[in-house]
Structure 1
Amino acid sequence: MAKENDTLEVEYHVKREAFASLKKELPARIPRFIYDSGLVFEYPDAIRGIYVTGHSAGGGRFNDLVSLVNKTDLNAMVIDIKDDWGNVTFKPEESSPYAKIGKDYIKDPMKTLKTLEAENIYPIARVVVFKDSVLAKEHPDWSFKEGDTVWKNGRNESFVNPFLKEVWDYNVGIAIEAAKMGFQEIQFDYVRFPEGFELRDDELIYSQGDFQNSSEDNIQKRVEAVTSFVKYAKEQLEPYGVKVSVDIFGYTATLPEAPGIGQNFSKISKHVDVISSMIYPSHWTSYFGISKPDLEPYKLVTEYAKVENNTLAQLENPPISRPWIQDFTATWLGSGNYKVYGKKEVEDQIKALNDQGIEEFLIWNAGNKYTNGVDYTP
């Protein structure tokens, strides 16, 4: 028995030494599996991007937009993958749960992405989340109802319910489809309740899902739901190696939270790689002591950037700031309240960001008609 014990002791030490030797050869941390789309993109020195609809990405305008990026210091495109009505802008495979909401706006998304790869243009997939008339019609119980009908806002748009996990998974699934195709970043837009929701939250019929038993008031429940969705989406997308960004109203950086829509700038910023405040001068009422912000794009953006910088500086790991600025003319503001936006106005917004240390930006024009001759690094 003693001899047998001696043999076991020797075998134990041999195996232990062998394992120790092997351990030295292994990396300190084995990386987690990351999905590989087969496409290769480099993150630029700083993102300078434009918005591209599904129709533009899949139509003749696409080549013009690629040319615009190539002949300027632009380097990225934010492309609609799920649009403002809830349509997926390409046709998924028939087996996909999103096949029936697919449109053929982008007839060959892989060809589009390969073009962007060849031209070294960074691709960002825009996914509109809770504004979704298509899903609200298909699942009224996932939406907000007035009596027996789905509620619509003044623009005839419906929203789905941020409290519901089913809605989260539906949108995260679309984001995963985009990540698998090769998009390097998922940008979630309309991550909020409808504007003015605090005025009708007691009138509309809807479920609070898992948040029903929260001890918080309704304002904080909405904040909790929106923030939790962002955190959940980020976690679910980790295996795909994509960055996650969220579009957010600019004024939320100036408030503890937006009470009706559930957006808390700091809380959302903790769970994203990029925060993209929509700071179009035309979208502000009198603010920062500026009575008509659309007339003073440099000053408006400067004052906003100061506030945002201060807010983000208080976070342990702040995300990249990449605001949305405007390249459109807001005629709806009425005579004397707007100005025609062109080269100078776009450059003024970029310069204001740069002067405050913010190097990244995205430019919005709903029709994708961007001003010629703009210096994007003024």
Structure 2
Amino acid sequence: MNVFLTLFWLLHAAVAGQAGQVGHDQAKSSLLGNVWHAALQASQKGQSGGAASPAESGDPGDPQPDAPKVKGIYVTAYSAGGSRLSSLLGLVDKTGLNAMVIDIKDDNGYITYKTDNPELTKMGTPKSFIPDIGKLLNTLKAHQIYPIARIVVFKDTVLAKNHPELSYVTGSGAVWQNGNGDSFVNPYRKEVWDYNVAIAKEAARLGFKEIQFDYVRFPEGFEKKADSLKFTKTDESRVDIVSDFVKYAKQRLAPLGVRVSVDIFGYAASVPAAEGIGQDFVKISNGVNVISPMIYPSHYGAGWFGQKDPDKAPYATIKGAMADTRKKLDPLGGKQPIIRPWIQDFTASWLGKSHYIPYGAAEVDAQIKALKESGVNEFLLWNAGNKYTPEAHY
């Protein structure tokens, strides 16, 4: 499968410019899906597609045993700290939604609220996108909203520019950037681990019940870049170093009573370990309380799960993605984490005419139905602009 892994990440890098349209960490094109579909078609023949019964709470040591079945929305720091918060609170109050995933360290690497914590300001760059973080947490509590702090880990343009030694440097001495102008920091650097864990600790002390780590990986197609870049590394594999960070973070946060969750490529449940970027679905799942695969129908290519255009078949696509997730995680038995996928509440018009459909209540409901039938009762809705469908049956 090494040939297909290489093709996959090369193609991913080529189309990564689409990422800005939805602002999340996923594989994003029908081209990508076609490569993997061809690679896996033969191996999937004859395999059972039945879903096993779920573990309601995968970790017997769940630090939040009284947490609700989370049905949440993504909220940017701008929305959380601005006028849009009022309408989002109204949406949650009037529907079955009950949680918000809020940027505490965003996709650029900014800490999104004012902090005087020297452990954070030594390496981080705070911005007052959320003017009063304490007031925000009190508001969420008053509305009985389960608060989740999203921390973007290794994609960190701000830290990379301020500390090139923690990033990847080109032959000319410049900090490496991807096609979107984003830079990453190096998972082999323990200082990066401790910095992100320090942010998580402060979020926990502020009142967040869960820490959600995103971009827990190396850059796309890293196996093709590594030899031309200068960076610190050890003999440990990329997969192992990423998994080690997750376990380390969970251990450090355990005394604070917060859950640890990780966002991961939806494709990761359907493919072998992605050695290039260091993501192994099972190894990462072993180190968290909650795993959140990003299974947006728009991000699977033609032919996935038997669908010509997966975006136009939200129910079937989610069912297929969950069947693959079960195959990965059911062998973990009682140690498997809570499965809480990210699903789609946006229209993927960039797929081109006849390859997408407008997403509204029916499409969101279809995804939720597929999750329930797969034994999954938790989900998160993604819309980069935080515009969600109030008519859906959450």
In structure 2, how many angstroms separate the alpha carbons of the residues matched to 1:293 and 1:145?
39
Equivalent residue in structure 2 for 1:333, among 341, 348, 351: 351
Residue of structure 2 in register with 1:113 after alignment: 137
Unaligned runs of 5+ in 1: 1-33, 35-39, 215-220
Residue of structure 2 in register with 1:58 after alignment: 81
1:213 is displaced (CA, Å) by: 3.2
Residue of structure 1 in register with 2:193 after alignment: 168
Q: Is the 8 A contact 1:41 1:122 kept in 2?
A: no
1:95 is displaced (CA, Å) by: 4.0
TM-score by length of 1: 0.84
In structure 1, how many angstroms separate the alpha carbons of the residues matched to 2:235 and 2:264?
27
1:242 is displaced (CA, Å) by: 0.1
Equivalent residue in structure 1 for 2:214, among 189, 206, 209: 189
1:141 is displaced (CA, Å) by: 1.0
Q: Is the 8 A contact 1:42 1:122 kept in 2?
A: no
Q: Is the 8 A contact 1:51 1:368 kept in 2?
A: yes
Residue of structure 1 in register with 2:71 after alignment: 48
Equivalent residue in structure 2 for 1:244, among 257, 260, 263: 260
1:72 is displaced (CA, Å) by: 0.2
Say yes or no: does 1:305 pair with 2:322: yes
Structure 2 SS opposite 1:115: helix
Structure 2 SS opposite 1:80: strand
Deviations 1:133-179 (A, max 9, x none): 00000111111111200111111100001111111111111111101
Residue pairs, 1:129-278, within 5 angstroms: 129-147=153-171, 148-208=173-233, 212-214=234-236, 221-278=237-294
Deviations 1:290-311 (A, max 9, x none): 2321111111000111111122
1:97 is displaced (CA, Å) by: 3.0
Residue of structure 1 in register with 2:337 after alignment: 319
Choose between structure 1 and 2 for higher RCO, CA contacts under 8 A separated by at least 6 residues: 2
Residue of structure 2 in register with 1:17 after alignment: none
TM-score by length of 2: 0.81
Please tell me the residue identity of whatever aligns with 1:187.
Answer: Q
Unaligned runs of 5+ in 2: 1-62
Q: Is the 8 A contact 2:95 2:390 kept in 1?
A: no
Structure 2 SS opposite 1:271: coil
In structure 1, how many angstroms separate the alpha carbons of the residues matched to 2:152 and 2:244?
17
Q: Is the 8 A contact 1:249 1:277 kept in 2?
A: yes
Instruction: Determine which structure has more spread, i.e. the larger CA radius of gyration.
Output: 1
Cα distance change of structure 1 residues 297 and 315 upon mapping to structure 2, 3 Å threshold:
same
Identity of aligned residues (%): 56
Say yes or no: does 1:372 pair with 2:390: yes
Q: Is the 8 A contact 1:247 1:275 kept in 2?
A: yes
Equivalent residue in structure 2 for 1:88, among 93, 111, 116: 111
Structure 2 SS opposite 1:170: helix
Say yes or no: does 1:361 pair with 2:379: yes
Structure 2 SS opposite 1:277: strand
Cα distance change of structure 1 residues 94 and 360 upon mapping to structure 2, 3 Å threshold:
closer
1:256 is displaced (CA, Å) by: 2.4
1:365 is displaced (CA, Å) by: 0.3
Residue pairs, 1:69-84, within 5 angstroms: 69-84=92-107
Q: Is the 8 A contact 1:41 1:120 kept in 2?
A: no
Alignment length (residue pairs) = 328
Say yes or no: does 1:124 pair with 2:140: no
1:132 is displaced (CA, Å) by: 0.3
Structure 2 SS opposite 1:315: helix
1:259 is displaced (CA, Å) by: 2.5
Please tell me the residue identity of whatever aligns with 1:51.
Answer: Y
Deviations 1:96-136 (A, max 9, x none): 53276111111111111111111110000000000000000
RMSD: 1.6
Please tell me the residue identity of whatever aligns with 2:245.
Answer: F
Q: Is the 8 A contact 2:305 2:316 kept in 1?
A: no
Cα distance change of structure 1 residues 94 and 187 upon mapping to structure 2, 3 Å threshold:
closer
Say yes or no: does 1:282 pair with 2:298: yes
